């Protein structure tokens, strides 16, 4: 036994590495060194168990993880470069390149990316004489193929009209799309695994050959496998079942991508006799952070028992900041980052929804702190935000042809490329701006009504352009029915997009005029940032934070309706996934963890009182410290919590934010209080910190 391969491992890692034949499940907690364990196990199989490198397959979920594993294996043991390290899709594609003709694929078949897929759908819609948007149809195709089902099998789950098409017409599009793919010798991304799975299920000779190349299989992030990846893995493992699945059900957060957490929870049922190894020593976070994390996740029923134990002792307490509103929350984050000082790339700010990034981006930019939005685009670069800003720019400046072209047929109003081409030709012939040419185009267009309606809409908006910015956008949303367009065009994430629209309205409310608002947007987008040496603060959703780690993490918006998200409260599975999402965010922090919530937040145009997340209550106050360095030096005590029934009405009280007030009504856990200079506020006794005056 080569101690060099084992000496750097802890006892649990060592036991997993020494596992030889038969199925094994490695339950690897956050920061527990799972990649190290897999890499050492592969090297050990080669160096001490006589397994050929060409008999080992290691499957990861991202190209980045694949490259990292390959790099770690290099130099550890002779021949490690021949180990098959791959993503699921790359492994399936490799199989199809060799044996694809057996399932009807042409030699040299191509794989279409998302843009190619969208372009083909547009061609199909045009061919069938339909004006639907390809986005929702593409989402339907992706969802079906991830689940391993024919797209038409999902029709029963859809409304009668989906993407503006009846079920019959939608079925025509789906069938014609697959025919067009086949005719062009192409697969889309979802087809890769489906074709490979079909090949292995139908052709025993090919299955035998591939199994020989993958006698010992390792699958990372097993909790994130979807039904097709699960079937693919189980088929390859076969009767020998030399499969080591590595993952953590506590970090299963991708059900929206068809990931099924039951795959890892039921591993020992799928593979009787499987050995289970638990990696519980955490090398990432301090004891204070891990105590909090363990208290969060222990509430979940759908999990495999484990408790993270810190290698690092002690550490700064987990701190909770109670903000008056989302603006103060963003200001706190920016000020605390400045107080702790550069390098700024050691900081990450995590949030549940993309819309939350806007105030954070602005708060950091206004203080000269560089920020980058990870796994997404900046708030003002998002498609729905850019659409609405284009309307505003055109309303203020009818010469802006770039903005005009962006929104001429958004939402769809029957103005196609041929119409735009005719109008552009007319503009050139007469030397007119494009918008003026639209007004004169009736004579050259076979169907002038859509253009006439657009011109009338823009002239209406031009009259409103010199009034309040918020009123302009609200009128625009009503006049175009833009929210309905988002719901139809982006069925998978329309709620996030609608939240971005609401966030834009909130931002507009703060400006005196539309012009002032657009100027502010331009300055925010082009804010001067510090040099690369200082780094940038990372801003990202909790979903995009998976797999990353930072010395200092701010997790904002820890309140009911956001985390857990309001759309996830109807089922146990939904609520538990939200708790896992919170757990993932907490376990990104290495040294310091800040949590924050706002006592009130605007929701769909209305300011509403917010409650701290139930996850905070579940953890208990002993594991975090309420923190407010800008109003009181040092930590402040937890809120005073009168019991329901403590107030009847008429009592004088004091609130830490709103000051003195009088209780005007009380019902159960809630009271309505009139505060001087603030007005009426409905508050929860559980969280409001009301005290007798």
DSSP letters along 492-533, please?
TTHHHHHHHHHHHHHHHHTSSSHHHHHHHHHHHHT-----GG
Binding-site members are 28-35
As a whole number of angstroms, the distance between CA 662 and CA 644 comes to 17
Contacts of 477 (CB under 8 A, 6+ apart): 388, 483, 501
As a whole number of angstroms, the distance between CA 595 and CA 626 comes to 9
Instruction: Verify whether residue 588 is a known catalytic residue.
Output: yes
Which backbone phi and psi does 93 adopt, to 5 degrees?
A: -65, -40
As a whole number of angstroms, the distance between CA 323 and CA 325 comes to 5
CB of 264 within 8 A of CB of 219? no
Contacts of 395 (CB under 8 A, 6+ apart): 458, 461, 462, 464, 465, 472, 514
Query: 243-247 and 216-219: which strand pairing?
Result: parallel
Contacts of 101 (CB under 8 A, 6+ apart): 107
CB of 427 within 8 A of CB of 436? yes
* Angle subtended at Cα 477 by Cα 475 and Cα 483, rounded to the nearest 5 degrees: 160
Using the 8-state DSSP alphabet, how is residue 242 labeled?
Answer: -
Find the radius of gyration of the CA atoms of the chain. Answer: 29
Instruction: Verify whether residue 421 is a known catalytic residue.
Output: no
For residue 692, whether the previous peptide bond is cis, meaning omega lies within 30 degrees of 0, is no
Q: Tell me which of 251, 362, 541, 590 is the catalytic residue.
A: 251
Using the 8-state DSSP alphabet, how is residue 362 labeled?
Answer: H
* Angle subtended at Cα 476 by Cα 475 and Cα 477, rounded to the nearest 5 degrees: 90
Tokens of 78: 């002779």
Q: Tell me which of 15, 35, 87, 672 is the catalytic residue.
A: 35
Using the 8-state DSSP alphabet, how is residue 537 labeled?
Answer: E
Binding-site members for ATP are 28-35
As a whole number of angstroms, the distance between CA 138 and CA 127 comes to 17
* Helix (H) or strand (E) segment spanning residue 278: strand 275-279
As a whole number of angstroms, the distance between CA 237 and CA 230 comes to 11
Q: Tell me which of 188, 220, 248, 488 is the catalytic residue.
A: 220
Which backbone phi and psi does 180 adopt, to 5 degrees?
A: -65, -40
Residue 625, CB-side half-sphere exposure with 13 Å CA sphere: 15
* Helix (H) or strand (E) segment spanning residue 58: strand 56-60
As a whole number of angstroms, the distance between CA 685 and CA 305 comes to 35
Instruction: Verify whether residue 34 is a known catalytic residue.
Output: yes
Using the 8-state DSSP alphabet, how is residue 642 labeled?
Answer: P
* Angle subtended at Cα 212 by Cα 208 and Cα 214, rounded to the nearest 5 degrees: 115
Which of 37, 547, 538, 36 has the alpha carbon at shortest distance from 251? 547
Instruction: Verify whether residue 60 is a known catalytic residue.
Output: no
For residue 376, the SS3 value is coil
Q: Which residues are catalytic?
A: 34-35, 220-221, 251, 588
């Amino acid at each position: 036994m080569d101690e060099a391969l084992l000496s750097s491992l802890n006892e649990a890692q060592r036991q997993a590495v020494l596992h030889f034949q038969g199925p094994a499940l490695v339950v690897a907690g956050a920061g527990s060194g799972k990649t190290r364990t897999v890499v050492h196990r592969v090297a050990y199989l080669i160096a001490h168990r006589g397994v050929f490198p060409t008999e080992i397959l290691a499957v990861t979920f991202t190209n980045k993880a694949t490259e990292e594993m390959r790099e770690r294996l290099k130099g550890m043991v002779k021949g490690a470069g021949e180990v098959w390290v791959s993503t699921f899709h790359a492994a399936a594609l490799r199989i199809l390149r060799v044996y694809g003709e057996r399932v009807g694929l042409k030699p040299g078949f191509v794989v279409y990316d998302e843009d190619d897929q969208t372009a083909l759908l547009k061609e199909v819609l045009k061919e069938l004489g339909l004006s639907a948007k390809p986005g929702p149809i593409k989402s339907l195709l992706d969802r079906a193929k991830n689940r391993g089902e024919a797209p038409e099998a999902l029709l029963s789950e859809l409304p009668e009209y989906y993407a503006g098409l009846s079920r019959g017409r939608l079925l025509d599009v789906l069938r014609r799309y697959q025919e067009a793919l086949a005719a062009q010798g192409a697969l889309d991304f979802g087809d890769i695994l489906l074709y490979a799975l079909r090949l292995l299920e139908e052709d025993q000779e090919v299955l035998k050959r591939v199994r020989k190349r993958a006698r010992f299989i390792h699958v990372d992030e097993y909790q994130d496998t979807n039904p097709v990846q699960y079937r693919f893995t189980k088929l390859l493992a076969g009767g020998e079942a030399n499969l080591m699945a590595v993952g953590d059900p506590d970090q299963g957060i991708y059900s929206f991508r068809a990931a099924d957490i039951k795959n890892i929870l039921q591993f020992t049922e799928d593979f009787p006799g499987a050995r289970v190894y638990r990696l519980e020593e955490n090398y990432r976070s301090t004891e204070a952070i891990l105590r909090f994390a363990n208290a969060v996740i222990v509430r979940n029923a759908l999990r495999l028992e484990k408790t993270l134990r810190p290698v690092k002792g002690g550490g700064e307490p987990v701190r909770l900041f109670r903000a008056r509103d989302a603006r103060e929350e963003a200001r706190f984050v920016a000020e605390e980052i400045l107080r702790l000082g550069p390098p700024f790339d050691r900081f990450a700010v995590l949030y549940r929804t993309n819309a939350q990034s806007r105030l954070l981006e602005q708060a950091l930019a206004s203080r000269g702190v560089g920020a980058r939005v990870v796994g997404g685009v900046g708030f003002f670069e998002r498609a729905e935000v850019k659409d609405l800003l284009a309307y505003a720019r055109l309303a203020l400046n009818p010469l802006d042809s770039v903005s005009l072209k962006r929104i001429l047929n958004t939402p769809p109003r029957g103005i196609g490329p041929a119409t735009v081409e005719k109008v552009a030709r007319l503009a050139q012939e007469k030397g007119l701006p494009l918008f003026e040419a639209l007004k004169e185009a009736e004579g050259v267009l076979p169907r002038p009504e859509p253009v006439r309606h657009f011109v009338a809409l823009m002239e209406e908006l031009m009259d409103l352009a010199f009034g309040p910015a918020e009123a302009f956008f609200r009128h625009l949303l009503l006049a175009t029915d833009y929210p309905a367009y988002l719901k139809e065009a982006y069925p998978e994430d329309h709620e996030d997009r609608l939240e971005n629209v609401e966030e834009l309205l909130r931002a507009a409310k703060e400006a005196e005029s539309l012009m002032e608002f657009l100027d502010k947007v331009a300055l925010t987008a082009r804010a001067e940032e510090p040099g690369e040496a200082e780094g940038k603060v990372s801003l990202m959703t909790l979903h995009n934070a998976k797999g990353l780690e930072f010395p200092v993490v701010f997790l904002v918006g820890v309140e009911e309706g956001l985390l857990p998200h309001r759309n996830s409260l109807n089922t146990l599975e939904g609520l538990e996934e939200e708790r896992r999402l919170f757990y993932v965010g907490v376990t990104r922090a290495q040294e310091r963890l800040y949590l924050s919530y706002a006592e009130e937040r605007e929701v769909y145009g209305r300011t509403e009182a917010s409650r701290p997340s139930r996850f905070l209550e579940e953890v208990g106050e002993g594991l975090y410290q309420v923190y407010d360095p800008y109003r009181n030096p040092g930590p402040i005590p937890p809120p005073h919590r009168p019991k329901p029934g403590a107030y009847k009405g008429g009592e004088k009280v004091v609130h830490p934010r709103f000051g003195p007030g009088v209780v005007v009504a009380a019902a159960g856990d809630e009271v309505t209080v009139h505060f001087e200079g603030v007005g009426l506020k409905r508050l929860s006794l559980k969280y409001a910190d009301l005290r007798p005056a």
